[in-house]
């Protein structure tokens, strides 16, 4: 198990051939082959990049079109560059959904980090009976689709009286984020040196104090990586809120999360008449993801890679 955050920057290592140009090439054959291959590979890569970017860009343009422009033809260009669609989308519920999502995540992300770090720390650095078992027990949770637990989970949350409440969703988010968080931080805590820890204990620091004042600051890079991952994951969560944040009666407040709210807006017949507003809502929910991803893309990529490779 390797410590993910210390992986070398990917882009540099991807160009191994560029070191030392002194050595003679293996002959013309390779040069020719290299050239054709280069054009060939560029062609495919560019094509796929277009296939990723074009639909997204097309949707962004949709924010500025009128509804009838969107519905008449795919290849229209916006005539007026106004932000009206954002305002309409915001008023049609996107603002509330955004607020709901933020309320839940303000609690769920730090709580996930705290509980995940506590469990990972104890499992990684203390020997006790059942230590390995508990670790695998946590890791196993990430192997099964959430889907399988949905029916009983719904009734469990119902029995706790927490359907359609923020608290209920916060606890569920934390519970379902724990496997990955524990798994990731476990390997991180294992790599930290023991000397500092021992010195602190000799100086009379309690275990709890050692954790909060020494280990947590030292594990900061790992905490940041897994934190970003949890932010993205919980921001994009769909199935859990869909099941647990349904209005139980007509008078209930709509506590939909952003992703869930957007889909229900999409499915509402009357909303069909205002596609620009729907696209604006989509843009609003995509911007934070985009910013987080581009700023931390290395951590995001290595985090997910580690999650898969173990």
Partner 1 sequence: MHRKKYPFIVGFLVLPVGLYLLLVIWPYIQTISYSFTDWSGASQNFGFVGFDNYKDLADDDVFLKALRHNALLLVLVPTLTILLSLFFAFMVNVGGRGGAGGVSGVKGSGFYRIVFFFPQVLSVAILAILFKAVYRGDDSGLINGSLQAVGLGDKNNPTEWLNDPDLVLWCIVFVMIWAGAGFYMVLFSAAMQSIPKDIYEAALLDGAGRVQTFFRVTLPLLWETIQTAWVFLAILSMDAFLLISTLTSQDFGGGPDHSSEVISTYLMRNFQTYSKSGYACAMGVVMLLLTLIVSIVTLRLSRRERIEY
Tell me which residues in 78-137 interact with partner 1 (CB under 8 A).
115-116, 118-119, 121-123, 126, 128, 134, 137
CB of 34 to partner 1, least distance (A): 4
CB of 125 to partner 1, least distance (A): 10
Find the binder of partner 1 among 3, 103, 139, 150 (CB under 8 A): 150
CB of 140 to partner 1, least distance (A): 9
Binders of partner 1 among residues 38 to 67 (CB under 8 A) are 38, 40-42, 44-45, 48-49, 51-56, 58-59, 62
CB of 54 to partner 1, least distance (A): 8
Is residue 195 part of the contact set for partner 1 (CB under 8 A)? no
Contact by Cβ (8 Å): 111, 178:
no
Q: Which is nearer to partner 1, 14 or 81 (CB)?
A: 14
CB of 112 to partner 1, least distance (A): 10
Is residue 300 part of the contact set for partner 1 (CB under 8 A)? yes
Closest CA to 240 of 126, 123, 104: 104
State the sign of the Cα–Cα–Cα–Cα dihedral 7, 173, 86, 58: positive
Is residue 208 part of the contact set for partner 1 (CB under 8 A)? yes
- As a whole number of Å, the end-to-end CA separation of the chain is 6
Find the binder of partner 1 among 183, 188, 271, 279 (CB under 8 A): 279
Place of tokens 């407040």: 253
CB of 114 to partner 1, least distance (A): 9
Distance between CA atoms of residues 64 and 80, nearest Å: 7
Q: How many residues bind partner 1 (CB under 8 A)?
A: 119
Q: Which is nearer to partner 1, 121 or 184 (CB)?
A: 121
CB of 88 to partner 1, least distance (A): 16
Of 3-11, 83-91, 184-192, 213-221: span binding partner 1 (CB under 8 A): 3-11
3-class SS letters over 139-157: HHCCCCCHHHHHHHHHHHH
Phi and psi, residue 145, nearest 5°: -65, 140
Alpha-carbon distances of 190 from 20, 25, 114, 184, 195, rounded to whole Å: 37, 44, 17, 10, 13
Q: How far is CA 224 from the centre of its chain?
A: 12
Find the binder of partner 1 among 3, 156, 216, 224 (CB under 8 A): 156
Alpha-carbon distances of 249 from 37, 238, 266, 272, rounded to whole Å: 62, 21, 22, 25
Binders of partner 1 among residues 209 to 248 (CB under 8 A) are 211, 232, 235-239
Distance between CA atoms of residues 90 and 87, nearest Å: 5
């Amino acid at each position: 198990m390797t410590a993910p955050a210390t992986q070398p920057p990917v882009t540099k290592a991807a160009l191994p051939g560029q070191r030392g140009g002194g050595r003679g090439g293996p002959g013309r054959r390779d040069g020719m082959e290299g050239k054709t291959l280069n054009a060939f590979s560029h062609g495919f890569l560019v094509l796929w990049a277009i296939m990723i970017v074009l639909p997204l860009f097309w949707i962004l343009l949709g924010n500025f079109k009128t509804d009838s422009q969107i519905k008449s033809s795919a290849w229209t260009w916006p005539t007026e560059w106004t932000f009206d669609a954002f305002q309409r989308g915001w008023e049609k519920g996107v603002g509330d959904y955004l607020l709901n999502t933020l309320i839940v995540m303000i609690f769920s992300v730090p709580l996930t980090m705290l509980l995940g770090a506590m469990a990972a720390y104890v499992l990684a650095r203390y020997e006790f009976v059942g230590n390995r078992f508990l670790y695998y027990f946590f890791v196993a949770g990430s192997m099964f689709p959430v889907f399988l637990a949905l029916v009983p989970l719904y009734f469990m949350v119902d029995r706790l009286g927490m359907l359609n409440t923020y608290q209920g969703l916060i606890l569920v988010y934390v519970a379902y984020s724990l496997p990955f968080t524990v798994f990731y931080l476990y390997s991180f805590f294992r790599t930290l040196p023991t000397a500092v820890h021992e010195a602190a204990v000799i100086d009379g620091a309690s275990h709890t104090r050692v954790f909060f004042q020494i280990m947590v600051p030292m594990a900061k890079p790992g905490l940041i990586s897994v934190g970003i991952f949890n932010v993205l994951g919980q921001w994009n969560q769909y199935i859990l809120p869909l099941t647990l944040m349904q209005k139980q009666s007509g008078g209930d407040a709509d506590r939909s999360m952003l992703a869930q709210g957007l889909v229900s807006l999409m499915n509402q017949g009357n909303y069909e008449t205002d596609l620009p507003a729907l696209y604006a809502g989509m843009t609003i929910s995509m911007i934070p993801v985009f910013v987080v991803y581009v700023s931390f893309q290395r951590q995001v990529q290595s985090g997910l890679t580690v999650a898969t490779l173990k």
